[in-house]
Structure 1
Amino acid sequence: MIQTGQKIEIGQRVVVLGLGISGRAAMKFLVQQGALVLVSDFRSFEQLATDDQEYIGKHKLPYEGGGHTLEFCGDCDTIFVSPGISPDIQLLQDLRAKGIPVVGELAIAAPYLTEIVIAVTGTNGKTTVTALIGALLKSAGKQVFVGGNIGTPLLDYLRRGKRAEFVVLELSSFQLESAGSFRPHIGILLNVTPDHLDRHGTMVNYTAAKMKMFAQQTKDDIAILSAEDAICVQVEALLSVPKKYCFGTVETDCAAHGKGSKFSVDLGDRNDKYSLHDTALDSHTGLLNSEAAVLTVSLLGCSKEEVKKGLKSFRLAKHRLQKVRLLAG
């Protein structure tokens, strides 16, 4: 799936703001693409990890410690902003006023992605659903990269060169704020409840950040949303993408629906029934997560038998909800 956006040009001056996990991946990817990279971080050079010090020294990258200044950042072509940095800080406002693009990892990655991209966001459940989609696709024999906000950063995946058929990404609202032309073939919104309001200020702003996942989708793409979440229902009504599917507990208008341990996925030409009994996903939360993931891979062509195999073998990550016992009804 060809994405839009401009690739990095050789000699393009790019400042990387913030040398955390995403910033480190961006720094190395941009150097690989031939950009002239400058790095700005709140830590002094001596406070950086030894590997970062060695990489910056080896590639002779200009480094600014102790904060971000307009003097250091103002003479560049592009600003890469790490997701942990608010897009509303004064420096970024000043740089935008100078006409300098401020982009994040998704915007930089977009023009390099040719794989089928599945993106998952939501306040809760996105790690499990992302991992489950990856596991189900792998169970069907597909080559899959799973990452983004979990595991390997997307730009590290692109830099290493071994490409997959499917890219499954967990995305936070912070990452989506600076998504640029990033366009997932399938975008999944699980739920939106109050979170990160210290960053976004209001639920309207928080929801708007989540909605950016769908902003670049075309008539060939797919949006999947929860019918159980009031904000998701409102978002679904606002989306212009024609291929929209819902999941939940009510059969009406939901392509994936169920109760207890059982659910169905109805795509018109196939109606597949599943049970979560004796799986790690046998709970109400697991039901909704499974509906979202199974609906996704069914739309991608996975068979009922492949899905059942994947559900049976799936294991939750640490610190996730898991059914232990039903007591007193």
Structure 2
Amino acid sequence: MTITDFYREMKGKTVAFCGLGGSNLPLIDRFLAAGAKVTARDRRTREKLGDLADQLEKKSVQLVLGENYLEDLNEEVIFRTPGMPYHLPQLDAARARGSVVTSEMEVFLEYCPCRVFGVTGSDGKTTTTTILSKILQHAGKTVHVGGNIGKALLPDIDSIRPTDVVVAELSSFQLISVGRSPQVAVVTNMSPNHLDIHKDMQEYIDAKKNIFLHQDGFGRAVFNLDNPITTGFVSQARGECLTFSRKQRVRNGCFVNPDGTIVFAKNGVETPIMNCSEIRIPGAHNVENYLAAICAVWGYASPEDIRAVAEEFSGVEHRAELVRELDGVRWYNDSIATTPSRTVRGMLSLFPQKLILIAGGYDKKIPFEPMGEPVCEHVKTLVLMGVTAPKIEAAVKEAKNYRPGAPKILHAASLEEAVNLCRQEAKSGDIVALSPACASFDMFPNFETRGDRFRELVKQL
């Protein structure tokens, strides 16, 4: 069955799109063209949707809006937005009534005509996805990038040729319900995340595992051997399994020699690729991102392609991004750091000196204790904001290496106040970093908006 057959089957069916976000909204026109009877459901009111509501109604889309937007969810096919909990009672009730509950990514993976490289993990997904796509592009492939990064892929599936490749960043919310895995699956690492949505850590892990569990014997799975959770995935791979490590040699996969040489090994035959010093973007975590990408592209791109990208690629915005240097103080935007592990592995590992750190935000119900000792070791002034500020302060003060005043802890009611406090505290030679260890939803709609606002504030100093 092809995607053409799928759309043909949608003719005359009632189809609901729950949540008018980036993955669902572009699909509505395609389903209307296929002859489906479309209902758009969204928590926002008509006033908040504005012109979009009028545009949809002009296309004969039925609207169900407001807090009760999931009432009477009786359409034959229901597309949930990725951020919507899979086991929402209204969705479970619809399944019990016989509705098909699916998502943009489920349908895409089922019908994509070309090879898909999928990337998931708790940290490093976007950077690894970007590195992967750039290496494949340098190798002459026509590459389509999407998923949790950039855009939905299903609306463009008609233009994807069998000789193309897709590189998809995949979140746990996208993976939780998929029944087909990408042909090449990468798991960068695993640590607690999104426990405000997932019922527990095990559900989060199980969702991530779907990226490789449905592969056949011709698939490739790539795992981080330095992470205890992903190491446990190795025995569950059904096809080729490659691993990567910064800390130990591997027989099949990628590792770093003591002299910094990155080596790919296959059945013990070792091929030197480049030295870590050739990677333009800084940090040990970015070395790991390259190790993962090399495992994924091996056989599809050459070492020359890999080196060319490593030397040219300067990173993705909001990730250890130097905003400016002012009066000898360097200001970094690391708004992507929405978990403690991301802050610890990222900004807290990049510099030999102690930082001035802005942290705090929305509470995803994940523990902050793991960042207590690293903060005490690498931070001289900690400026806390958001609803998690008390939890982070407690984790720091309970750390074994905490001493009163080391770090100095300040509180800010807003990002604006946090930046001003850092300006007062910083002296020439200091580094100030926004690396919140939390999501942004208590103050900003997403981490990008938070990072953009930080840049604006710093440039106004």
Q: For 2:57, give the aligned amino acid.
A: G
Q: CA deviation at 1:6?
A: 7.4
Correspondence list, 1:84-123, <5 A: 84-123=83-122
TM-score scaled to structure 2, two decimals? 0.65
Partner residue in 2 for 1:237: 235
State which structure, 1 or 2, has the greater radius of gyration over its C-alpha atoms.
2
Partner residue in 1 for 2:184: 186
Asked whether the equivalents of residues 145 and 167 of structure 1 are also in contact (C-alpha less than 8 Å), the reply is yes
What SS is found at the alignment partner of 1:281? coil
Partner residue in 2 for 1:272: 272
- The CA distance in 2 between the partners of 1:46 and 1:90, in whole Å, is 27
Q: For 1:13, give the aligned amino acid.
A: T
Asked whether the equivalents of residues 5 and 110 of structure 1 are also in contact (C-alpha less than 8 Å), the reply is no
Q: Which runs of 5+ in 1 are unaligned?
A: none
Which of the residues 193, 202, 205 maps onto 2:203?
Answer: 205
Asked whether the equivalents of residues 27 and 154 of structure 2 are also in contact (C-alpha less than 8 Å), the reply is yes
Partner residue in 1 for 2:27: 26
Asked whether the equivalents of residues 133 and 168 of structure 1 are also in contact (C-alpha less than 8 Å), the reply is yes
Q: CA deviation at 1:282?
A: 4.1
Partner residue in 2 for 1:140: 139
What are the Cα deviations for residues 267-289 of structure 1, in whole angstroms up to 9, with x where unaligned? 35662321232432342111111
- The CA distance in 2 between the partners of 1:119 and 1:43, in whole Å, is 32
Question: In the superposition, relative to structure 1, how do residues 325 and 210 fare at CA in structure 2: closer, same or farther (>3 Å)?
Answer: closer
Q: CA deviation at 1:172?
A: 0.5
Q: CA deviation at 1:157?
A: 2.8
Q: For 1:137, give the aligned amino acid.
A: L
- The CA distance in 2 between the partners of 1:252 and 1:108, in whole Å, is 36
Name which of structure 1's ranges 22-31 and 305-314 shifts more when overlaid on structure 2: 22-31
Partner residue in 1 for 2:37: 36
Q: CA deviation at 1:65?
A: 0.7
Question: In the superposition, relative to structure 1, how do residues 3 and 170 fare at CA in structure 2: closer, same or farther (>3 Å)?
Answer: farther
Correspondence list, 1:68-79, <5 A: 68-71=69-72, 73-74=73-74, 76-79=75-78
Question: In the superposition, relative to structure 1, how do residues 80 and 133 fare at CA in structure 2: closer, same or farther (>3 Å)?
Answer: same
Higher relative contact order (CA 8 A, sep 6+): 1
Question: In the superposition, relative to structure 1, how do residues 293 and 45 fare at CA in structure 2: closer, same or farther (>3 Å)?
Answer: same
Query: CA RMSD for the aligned pairs?
Result: 2.5
Partner residue in 1 for 2:129: 130
What's the % identity of the aligned pairs?
A: 27
Q: For 2:189, give the aligned amino acid.
A: N
Partner residue in 2 for 1:156: 155
Q: CA deviation at 1:56?
A: 0.8
What are the Cα deviations for residues 188-247 of structure 1, in whole angstroms up to 9, with x where unaligned? 1111100101111211111001011123211111111110110001122233x1311101
Q: CA deviation at 1:171?
A: 0.6
- The CA distance in 2 between the partners of 1:5 and 1:151, in whole Å, is 25
What SS is found at the alignment partner of 2:298? helix
Q: How many residues align?
A: 320
What SS is found at the alignment partner of 2:242? strand
